[in-house]
């Protein structure tokens, strides 16, 4: 590991932190240390980083803005990668929006609305990064990334760079090919339509008001815990199972929105996992429906 660290530092492969607690980088405020936390500012740094990790056989994970992820309490072996600098910027170009993989998905929706571009209103309540949104085919309010993405630039495990179009990404509900073919989205290009600024602002304001009224956004959480089963809403099933307010250790099913698990202060990853298992068992027993978590789990389990 020391040889790898020395090579990373010599190669200008990003800012390197050792044994960095990931609870400082996740919205759940949960997670042990990463052996290496590498923050890269541009594609060149990321390519060099990936080539060195590949050469050393070092496992890696990418961490966007820290939502939708549960990091185990023992932390993550290998490298965790964050995108910053040029990889967390956005710009308009010939009627398209080009956004770095590290750019805020919420901020992108606001930026588009101010330009009178419609199609990203649904993203106003999705707290992750652009890259994470592509990876998960994030969606809400009847729309998702697959409807507006033109193409994405991806750095693969060996450091090679490819551009994938919408069809290449094999989108389906909360899924893209990136979940089988690991890579890091460095840039996503979105095609949006022209709309009325006032109508766009009105729709986004309504969505925001609804989120503030129905989601525990002021508390440490990771967004929705489970995918919606076909024909059902996970939150409604959990509520009907009598699980609002259910606690395991420091983890609690939100009393505001049953598909959110909150960290009440000192929750561990195991608390969250045990609560997830309890919810799944109860819903399976009462309704014969299998809830599938949409939270990504990262690291070394106890």
Q: Is residue 224 annotated as a catalytic residue, yes or no?
A: yes
Active-site entry in 67, 129, 224, 254:
224
Q: How far apart are CA 263 and CA 275, in angstroms?
A: 11
Q: Dihedrals φ, ψ of 106, to 5°?
A: -65, -45
Active-site entry in 77, 147, 166, 174:
174
| Residue 223 tokens, joined | 């967004």
Active-site entry in 121, 151, 187, 294:
294
Residue pair 70/298 in contact (Cβ under 8 Å)? The answer is yes
Q: Dihedrals φ, ψ of 293, to 5°?
A: -65, 140
Rounded to the nearest angstrom, the gap between the alpha carbon of residue 282 and the centroid of all alpha carbons in its chain is 27
Q: Is residue 172 annotated as a catalytic residue, yes or no?
A: no
Residue 218's alpha-carbon distances to 127, 168, 232, 262, in angstroms, are 13, 37, 27, 10
Helices marked H in the chain: 2-10, 43-56, 105-114, 130-136, 197-214, 234-240, 269-287
Q: Is residue 174 annotated as a catalytic residue, yes or no?
A: yes
Q: How far apart are CA 172 and CA 5, in angstroms?
A: 38
Which residues lie below 8 Å from residue 153, measured CB to CB, with a gap of 6+?
A: 43, 161, 162, 163, 185, 186, 187, 188
Residue pair 65/26 in contact (Cβ under 8 Å)? The answer is no
Active-site residues, by number, are: 174, 224, 294
């Amino acid at each position: 590991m020391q040889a790898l660290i020395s090579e990373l530092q010599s190669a200008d492969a990003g800012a390197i932190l050792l044994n960095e607690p990931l609870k400082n980088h996740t919205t759940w405020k949960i997670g042990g240390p990463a052996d290496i936390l590498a923050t890269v500012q541009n594609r060149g740094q990321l390519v060099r980083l990936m080539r060195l990790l590949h050469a050393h056989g070092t496992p890696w994970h990418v961490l966007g803005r820290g939502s939708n992820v549960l990091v185990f309490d023992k932390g993550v072996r290998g490298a965790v990668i964050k995108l910053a600098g040029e990889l967390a910027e956005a710009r308009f170009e010939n009627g398209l929006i080009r956004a770095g993989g590290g750019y805020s998905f919420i901020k992108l929706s606001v930026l588009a609305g101010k330009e009178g571009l419609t199609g990203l209103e649904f993203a106003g309540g999705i707290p992750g990064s652009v890259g994470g949104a592509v990876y998960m085919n994030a969606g809400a309010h009847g729309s998702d990334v697959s409807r507006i993405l033109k193409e994405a630039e991806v750095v693969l495990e060996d450091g090679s760079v490819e551009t994938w179009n919408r069809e290449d990404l094999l989108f389906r509900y909360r899924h893209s090919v990136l979940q089988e073919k690991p890579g890091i989205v460095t840039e996503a290009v979105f095609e949006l339509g022209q709309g009325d600024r006032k109508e766009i602002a009105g729709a986004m304001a309504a969505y925001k008001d609804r989120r503030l009224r129905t989601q525990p956004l002021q508390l440490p959480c990771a967004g929705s815990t489970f995918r919606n089963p076909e024909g059902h809403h996970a939150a409604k099933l959990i509520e009907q199972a009598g699980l609002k307010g259910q606690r395991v250790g420091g983890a609690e099913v939100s009393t505001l929105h049953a598909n959110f698990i909150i960290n009440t202060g000192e929750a561990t990853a195991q608390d969250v996992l045990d609560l997830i298992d309890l919810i799944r068992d109860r819903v399976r027993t009462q309704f014969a429906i299998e809830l599938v978590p949409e939270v990504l789990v990262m690291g070394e389990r106890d």
